[in-house]
Amino acid sequence: MLAFHALVLVVVPSFIWLGFWQLDRWEEKSAAARLQEENLAADPVPVEELDAVGARIDPQDRWRRVTATGTYDSDNELLVRNRDGSQGVGLHVLTPLVTEDGTALLVNRGWIAQPPSSTADPEVPPAPEGEVTVTARLHYSETPENTGVREREGLPEGQIMLIDVDALAEDLPYPVYGGYGDLTEQDPPSDPAPEKLEAPETNTGMNLSYAVQWWVFTVTAIVGWVFLMRREIRDAREGDPPRPAGDRPERIDQPA
């Protein structure tokens, strides 16, 4: 019984802590979902209001829509590997948009299908020539630290794994804004064009349910412990009481 009591003393606080941990996770995801929804609903602003050359995008500004006017630099276009689209895994088309003051915004123009083989060239709809105005969802730079993905050697020329803006800016002949944008609107539009990227659906996950489950386990453990304790006490009371010393039968010596 002592071992059982010790187990209950360990299990109950652990279940309570796990419940609050899952509740914290749910609150974090809920806050991120609210931020995304609010930022997507906000009116677009010029990119220079939220970004600058070499700047770090404030996480609170992620998903905000920004506008920029300039010309695409197709010569420095890149393809980002292992990206999901409506037809499966493919590539994202990343094209610098050089604005009037010479600063470029890396614009993710959308998704294209993976070529049938690693040696085949993908079909990339060309960026329009001349001046365009784009609206894009702002994102901070992708890095191995915030994605868990690392660049690979031996990729086909012009293909990358991450939109690491600082690293990409080193190879470009103009200053580059610190974030990049997923294209949502373009004037004039392109035809044909890569498949536009949809904002991911907000999802708070199952953490709240998990928290409730851990607390249910806590109550179950406590109720089970009380039930067993009451049964032990009842069994002890219903057992044969010990006989007083005077009531014990006298020893009868047998003849040798």
Q: What is the pLDDT of residue 8?
A: 72
Give the predicted TM-score (pTM) of the model.
0.72
15-19, 47-51, 143-147, 204-208: which is most confident: 47-51
Structure tokens, 128: 């329009």
How far apart are the C-alpha atoms of 164 and 255, rounded to whole Å? 104
**Spatial CB neighbours of 222, under 8 Å, sequence gap ≥ 6:** 8, 12
The confidence band for 171, taking pLDDT boundaries of 50, 70 and 90, is very high
Bridge partners, residue 177, by sequence: 53
Helices 2-41 and 207-238: angle between axes, nearest 10 degrees: 160
Burial class (CB in 10 A: 0-12, 13-18, 19+), 219: exposed
Instruction: Average the pLDDT over each of 70-84, 136-150, 155-169, 238-252 and give the range with the smallest value.
Output: 238-252
Strand pairing report for 88-99 and 104-113: antiparallel
Written as one letter, the residue type at 226 is V
> Which residue matches tokens 């392109």?
190
> Where would I find the H helices in 42-151?
144-147
**Residue 242 confidence (pLDDT) above 60:** no
- Average pLDDT over the chain, rounded to whole? 85
* pLDDT, position 210: 79
Q: Which helix (H) or strand (E) holds 160?
A: strand 159-160
C-alpha–C-alpha distance, residues 36 and 228, integer Å:
50
How large is the average pLDDT for residues 25-37?
81
